[in-house]
Amino acid sequence: MRIADMRNKEIINALDGSRLGYICDIEINWDNGTIDSIIVPGTNKVMGIFGKNSEYVIPWERIRKVGEDIILVEIAEDKEIN
């Protein structure tokens, strides 16, 4: 699968069914050529106006299933937001 194909899949948290969004970036381990994590933009704190953007950094081992339209992950949101 190409990374460009992954960007079109919605990220869903399997723990609570929440929709996290779409992949905006990835972290690659250049030494062994694998993906370390995917990055999904978070939401602003107050109605998209005030506060700084946060992002979900989801380690590759937290991905449970890559489907045709979605990617299921298992994350505790408070621990994965940067």
15 secondary structure, DSSP code: T
Encoded amino acid at 57, one letter? V
Is 90 exceeded by the pLDDT of residue 79?
no
- Take residue 48 and report the two structure tokens written for it: 């998209």
**CATH level 3 topology of 3-74:** SH3 type barrels. (2.30.30)
pLDDT of residue 82 exceeding 70, the answer is no
From residue 82, alpha-carbon distances to 30, 61, 62 in Å are 22, 18, 16
pLDDT digits (tens, 9 = 90+) for 57-77: 999 999 999 999 999 999 986
Domain residue limits, the chain: 3-74
25-29 vs 34-41, strand pairing mode: antiparallel
User: Hey, what are 38's tokens?
Assistant: 């995917």
Per-residue pLDDT reduced to its tens digit, 23-64: 988 999 999 989 999 998 876 544 445 545 678 899 999 999
**Number of Cβ atoms within 10 Å of the Cβ of 24:** 12
